[in-house]
Amino acid sequence: MSTLQKKPKRHIAELVWLRTVACLMIVAVHAVESVIHFASAEQMDSSYRLLYPLIMFMKLATPLFIFISAFLLAHAYHVKTPEHFLRKRAKYLLIPYVIIAVVYAVLEAVYAGFSSAVLAERLWKNIVLAEFHGYFILTIFQFYILHQWIAPYLNRWKATVVIPVALVINAAYLAFFNLMQPFAILNAETFWQFLWWVPFPAWVFYYVTAYYAGRNVEEFRDRLSRNRLKVIGGSLLSVILFFILYSSKILPVNSSKNVIVLIYALPVMLLMFYLASVIRSKPPTLLNWIASLSFGIFLLHSLCQKVAFSALQSALPGLALPLQIIVLFVAGAAGAMLLTYMISLLPFGTFIIGKINLPKRASIQPAGRPTASGEG
């Protein structure tokens, strides 16, 4: 067999479920955060403050997207990548990154009272400092670069050695930036505020774990099935420990870059994958659509929510917080899906929302069935 290890394209059913969950989690988190940010002290009574740990739990979405991307990458090319691998991905990742960064910069400048100075500042922060949710694209692209170099070694090294080492590196990196104050050097504060979570060490544990899982999907499924009680129990215990640590305010960093996310992220992801594999059927049509359009939803949901929130404040300024959250969630999910689909029909649509495979063209591999390697 060629060292390229490239086989016919197929999506893996479990990843459709995981991608959908991750996508909707991100939309939900931003819906809740938008409402809370502008809520008055009177509106934010004790019952709503319970949302904070729930929001923090749903920060799992970013590590989950890293896991899915790395899983597919290893599944398709676990030894060697093809020619023009990076060029193709730069076209469908970096170009959309720049375009969407510009779109959000313009929108933010308009809301701030448009001026060339404000626009220039927002362009600089979005494109160069990655000060918007699109930073995730830069992180993923780093793993594409890293994969070309490290995959042959990971293929030879034992997972039982590599995964713990990656965990230590990842935890040490996050803990350093969670706990340390910026050094007294040029641009240190800027790096601490916006950039430190972009480099791959902030996420390397998820990449390495996903590599070994995606390299042999059938073995991964089998291991989860045989150890299902450990998977379920470990996930529950990790979530309980997470809530205890988060409530203690030991590390108040309210993001997916909080080191304590490492405690529960992988156990919960393994449980999700196991539950999806137990279903042993093709995902429902709606899930296939959400998963297929997930990259566009990720890029555009915040845009739809900003517009919806402005409309709410103008038309229904006294709307109850729960209803505001529901409206923003629906606007972020359904609005971004519709917008992504419409853009995908344009000749240049792939340069805005990336390359997508709509469900009617996707070949879905049911969970638990024989595996055909491929990149989704």
Q: What pTM does this model have? A: 0.87
Q: Which residues, 6 or more positions from 154, have their beta carbon under 8 angstroms from its beta carbon?
A: 78, 162, 208, 211, 212
pLDDT digits (tens, 9 = 90+) for 151-160: 999 999 999 9
pLDDT digits (tens, 9 = 90+) for 69-128: 999 999 999 888 888 889 888 999 999 999 999 999 999 898 888 888 999 999 999 998
The pLDDT, as a whole number, for residue 7 is: 47
pLDDT digits (tens, 9 = 90+) for 259-286: 989 999 999 999 999 999 998 677 888 9
Q: 164: which 2 tokens? A: 């713990």
The pLDDT, as a whole number, for residue 201 is: 93
CA distances from 280 to 227, 229, 286, 358, 364 (A): 18, 19, 17, 21, 12
- The pLDDT of residue 1 is above 60: no
Share of the chain above pLDDT 70, in %: 86
pLDDT digits (tens, 9 = 90+) for 190-223: 667 767 888 999 999 999 999 999 998 999 999 9
- The pLDDT of residue 47 is above 80: no
The pLDDT, as a whole number, for residue 78 is: 83
**pLDDT class for 362, splitting at 50, 70, 90?**
very low
Of residues 352 and 47, the one with the higher pLDDT is: 352
